[in-house]
């Protein structure tokens, strides 16, 4: 059982301050240590000349450490897994603990002759009997939950990292399209995600993360508050994942999961509410809608499947290991996209048949060069392919056409590669270094897309009766993604841990760069947007009086019909550089009290597409303080508290519109006809600027006290009241 109270304040580019006081009883999960390793520590009573030896039961990795003069020992930066812990006295083994589990970023206490266990010395050795209550990690000062692969395989949840995170306290689902969770009321864009120590948060929006085969997860850690100085760039929570690795035992298998459509319940249809106001035909001839079908959802169905395989083992016993897991996730189904009261043109793409293919793989190589030097190499691939085919849909008889009217293909994702070195240089000094890189591509291809055809937008109300408003552009969306859109990250970190008496000192430096090229534009580069207004003699923009009346330009403008040639193009190549340094001291004051003092200093720099820094944040100091009290000295009850400040960088997508190039123009015309194939208007005549135009200001208002633009029939004039500073011919 645990309870916590937290106070947090968040904002982009600034910081948050959090404080929590928590009581923890035996059996809770509260884990601490470095970001992807764990530790074993304990106390030895009543003997001198002691030495402790640990051995990884899966890889044979062996380390030993002396017991200090206070009776304590500690092994840090250990790969998660199962260990054997042996106590030696003057070279003779006097006690053994088997199947000691080391969790990600966790501390596991193994004491001999301490209150947590009883020891009876005989001539042959020591018999160790565990206490009745399971011990908890009294070396941690933060709030977090750890799920092992065995637990994840048994939990009745979706096979997804985010679904598992929802089991942690204060984590809730977010209703946004991203499906990224929310921690403690924070936004989904305020979280951080790691795989084997490398940050895999979405580099463009900070919403979402790279995924991997669910069966490849060895341990998943969910931090919800009070995490130490090694973690940053998050004011919400942290999801920290360690993948499985090979062992001396050769293992392999296949797995499959099938979710048939026949066993799914049909979704419910949506209906208009019974308001009484829309219960009869309106004055303009519209049929009543109260209680009628709004959106048909009854046949929105799909099936899913997952097929995967894994293999792991040792290439060289006790030294070189491999692990590989690959799977294919598929989903196929259909749904209705349009509404019963939509315009006929919307019904053109109302029926959607779709398929999702999500190929993923994870591979890992572990090389124990010696027991004191370890190399790790990780590869992760996460890609999603989506195919949508659209057809006509008729709400009058709930049927769809058989001839495809549009569609889109998208492909998102990429590959991640990580390398890490760990060196146990002495019994008290450990060094680790990590480097990683990731490329994420974004591809979008519309069915029947013709780059020479502009996008056409019209409705029944804006169409001249008797004219055919077709389109040679069969793209289902008005905007398309810029070609070659992608994100790329690269980063490294260095961690040093040194033990001096009862102090565990940790120093670190990490850096990550994120580049993004993104943007959107109309299909065919621009659009023809048809319009109509009841009063043909009134200016199109009556509020500002900038654009003249359609009637004055002739053609169908005399009936209020006009067309707008619109460009709306964004293109951005932006970059964010993030760096941080930290120092932390974990001080074991005595057998019952532990104090953690840390300081993190972060720097954020955001660049525009020209490589110019438009935001620089320096000296973002983030102090971290935590204390843990082992109340009875037997790891059965712990009281701990923490306080800290946390910072966020501004994500790359903030620069897409704010500091990158955008082309947004609108030109108004009347017309005398429409090409029956392309939908392009013919007989164009520009609509003149209204002679009653006012000052149009940058803030959207009308005033003569700001720098404004006056539009005449022949030019645009920029001025600060007078004199004019710039003139130009309207487009």
Closest CA to 109 of 66, 155, 140: 140
Instruction: Find the mean pLDDT for residues 416-422.
Output: 97
pLDDT-based confidence at residue 484 (cuts at 50, 70, 90): confident
DSSP string for residues in 167-227: TSTTEE---STT---EETT--GGG-EEEETTEE-B-TTTS--B----GGGEEEEEEEEE--
| Cβ-contact 627, 616 below 8 angstroms | no
Output the CA angle 722-726-728, nearest 5 degrees: 125
pLDDT digits (tens, 9 = 90+) for 214-265: 999 999 999 998 888 999 999 999 999 999 999 999 999 999 999 999 999 9
pLDDT digits (tens, 9 = 90+) for 186-214: 889 999 999 999 999 999 889 889 999 99
pLDDT-based confidence at residue 337 (cuts at 50, 70, 90): confident
pLDDT digits (tens, 9 = 90+) for 235-246: 999 999 999 999
Backbone angles phi, psi at 323, to 5 degrees: -150, 140
pLDDT digits (tens, 9 = 90+) for 87-142: 988 888 888 988 888 888 778 888 887 433 333 333 344 444 443 345 677 888 88
pLDDT at 98: 86
| Cβ-contact 66, 51 below 8 angstroms | yes
Residues across the chain: 731
Burial code (b: 16+ CB inside 10 Å, e: under 16) for 349-375 equals bbbbbbebebbbbbbbbbbbeebeebe
Beta strands in 467-538 (DSSP E): 479-481, 485-500, 503-522, 527-532
Burial class (CB in 10 A: 0-12, 13-18, 19+), 200: buried
- β-partners of residue 457 are 529
Higher pLDDT, 470 or 47: 470
Collapsed DSSP state (helix, strand, coil) of residue 465: coil
Closest CA to 583 of 646, 511, 647, 497: 497
Phi-psi region for residue 524, left (φ > 0), alpha (ψ -120 to 50) or beta?
left
Q: Provide the token pair at 496.
A: 């040093």
Residue 705 has pLDDT above 60, yes or no: no
- Domain ranges within the chain, ordered by starting residue: 33-130, 694-731
33-130 is a CATH 3.40.50.720 domain: no
Burial class (CB in 10 A: 0-12, 13-18, 19+), 152: buried
Closest CA to 335 of 372, 295, 288, 301: 301
| Cβ-contact 279, 288 below 8 angstroms | yes
Collapsed DSSP state (helix, strand, coil) of residue 344: helix
Measured CA to CA, the distance from residue 256 to residue 17 in angstroms comes to: 45
Mean per-residue pLDDT of the chain: 83
pLDDT digits (tens, 9 = 90+) for 600-622: 999 999 998 888 898 999 999 99
pLDDT-based confidence at residue 77 (cuts at 50, 70, 90): confident
Enumerate residues 6+ apart whose C-beta is below 8 A from 93. 86, 87, 125
Closest CA to 316 of 419, 418, 373, 247: 247
DSSP string for residues in 528-558: EEEEE-S-TTS-SSTTTT-B--SGGG-GGGG
Measured CA to CA, the distance from residue 442 to residue 389 in angstroms comes to: 19
| Residue pointed to by tokens 């460009």 | 567
The CA-atom distances, in angstroms, between 266 and each of 136, 158, 271, 302, 630 are: 46, 20, 16, 10, 54
Enumerate residues 6+ apart whose C-beta is below 8 A from 354. 302, 331, 332, 333, 334, 335, 386, 387, 388, 389
| Cβ-contact 553, 688 below 8 angstroms | yes
Work out the number of other CB atoms within 10 angstroms of the CB of residue 45: 13
Measured CA to CA, the distance from residue 444 to residue 518 in angstroms comes to: 12
Residue 381 has pLDDT above 60, yes or no: yes
pLDDT digits (tens, 9 = 90+) for 66-75: 888 888 888 8
DSSP string for residues in 98-148: EEEEEPTT-EEE--BSSTTEEEEE-SS-EEEEE-SSPP--TT--SEEEEEE
pLDDT at 411: 94
Measured CA to CA, the distance from residue 320 to residue 248 in angstroms comes to: 9
């Amino acid at each position: 059982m645990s309870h916590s109270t937290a106070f947090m304040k968040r904002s982009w580019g600034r910081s948050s301050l959090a404080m929590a006081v928590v009581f923890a009883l035996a059996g809770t999960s509260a884990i601490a240590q470095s970001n992807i390793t764990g530790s074993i520590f304990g106390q030895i009573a009543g003997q001198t000349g002691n030495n402790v030896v640990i051995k990884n039961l899966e890889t044979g990795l062996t380390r030993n450490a002396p017991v200090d003069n206070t009776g304590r020992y500690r092994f840090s930066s250990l790969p998660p897994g199962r260990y054997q812990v042996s106590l030696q006295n003057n070279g003779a083994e006097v006690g053994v603990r088997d199947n000691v589990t080391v969790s990600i970023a966790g501390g596991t206490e193994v004491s001999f002759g301490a209150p947590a266990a009883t020891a009876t010395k005989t001539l042959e050795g020591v018999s160790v009997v565990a206490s009745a209550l399971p011990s908890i990690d009294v070396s941690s000062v933060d709030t977090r939950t750890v799920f092992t692969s065995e637990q994840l395989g048994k939990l009745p949840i979706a096979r997804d990292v985010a679904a598992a995170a929802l089991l942690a306290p204060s984590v809730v689902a977010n209703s946004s399209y991203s499906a990224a969770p929310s921690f403690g009321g924070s936004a989904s864009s305020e979280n951080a995600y790691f795989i084997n120590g490398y940050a895999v948060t979405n580099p463009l929006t900070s919403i979402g993360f790279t995924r991997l085969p669910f069966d490849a997860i060895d341990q998943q850690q969910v931090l919800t508050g009070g995490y130490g100085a090694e973690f940053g760039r998050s004011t919400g929570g942290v999801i920290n994942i360690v993948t499985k690795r090979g062992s001396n035992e050769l293992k392999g298998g296949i797995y499959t999961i099938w979710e048939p459509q026949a066993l799914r319940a049909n979704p419910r249809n949506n209906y208009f509410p019974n308001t009484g106001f829309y219960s009869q035909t309106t004055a303009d001839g519209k049929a009543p809608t109260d209680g009628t079908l709004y959106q048909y959802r009854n046949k929105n169905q799909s099936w899913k499947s997952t097929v995967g395989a894994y293999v792991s083992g040792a290439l060289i016993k006790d030294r070189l290991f491999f692990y590989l897991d690959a799977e294919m996730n598929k989903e196929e189904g259909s749904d209705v996209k349009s509404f019963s009261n939509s315009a006929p043109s919307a019904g053109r793409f109302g029926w959607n048949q779709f398929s999702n293919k999500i190929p993923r793989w994870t591979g890992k190589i572990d090389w124990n060069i010696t027991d004191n030097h370890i190399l790790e190499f990780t590869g992760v691939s996460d890609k999603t392919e989506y195919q949508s085919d659209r057809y006509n849909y008729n709400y009058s008889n709930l049927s769809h056409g058989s001839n495809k009217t549009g569609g889109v293909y998208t492909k998102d994702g990429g590959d991640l590669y990580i390398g890490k070195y760990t060196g146990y240089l002495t019994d008290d000094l450990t060094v680790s270094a990590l480097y990683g890189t990731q490329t994420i591509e974004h591809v979008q291809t519309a069915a029947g897309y013709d780059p020479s055809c502009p996008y056409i937008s019209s409705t029944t109300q804006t169409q001249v009766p008797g004219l055919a408003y077709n389109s040679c552009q069969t793209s289902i969306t008005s905007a398309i993604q810029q070609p070659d859109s992608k994100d790329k990250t690269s980063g490294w970190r260095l961690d040093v841990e040194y033990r001096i008496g009862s102090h565990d000192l940790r120093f670190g430096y990490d850096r990550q760069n994120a580049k993004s090229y993104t943007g959107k534009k109309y299909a065919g580069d621009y659009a023809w947007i048809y319009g109509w207004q009841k009063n043909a003699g009134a200016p199109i923009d009556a509020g500002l009086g900038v654009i003249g009346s359609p009637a004055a330009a002739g053609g169908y403008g005399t009936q209020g019909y006009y067309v707008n040639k619109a460009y709306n193009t964004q293109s951005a190549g932006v970059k964010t550089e993030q760096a941080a340094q930290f120092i932390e001291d974990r001080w074991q004051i005595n057998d019952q009290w532990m104090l953690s003092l840390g300081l993190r200093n972060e720097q954020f720099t955001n660049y525009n597409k020209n490589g110019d820094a438009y935001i620089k944040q320096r000296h973002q100091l983030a102090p971290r303080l935590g204390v843990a009290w082992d109340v009875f000295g037997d790891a059965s009850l712990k009281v701990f508290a923490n306080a800290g400040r946390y910072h966020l960088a501004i994500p790359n997508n903030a620069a897409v519109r704010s500091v990158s190039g955008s082309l947004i123009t609108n030109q108004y015309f009347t017309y005398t006809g429409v090409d029956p194939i392309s939908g392009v208007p013919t007989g164009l005549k520009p609509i003149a600027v209204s002679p009653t135009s006012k000052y149009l200001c940058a803030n959207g208002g009308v005033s003569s006290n700001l720098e404004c633009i006056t539009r005449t029939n022949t030019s645009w004039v920029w001025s600060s009241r007078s004199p004019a500073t710039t003139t130009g011919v309207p487009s």
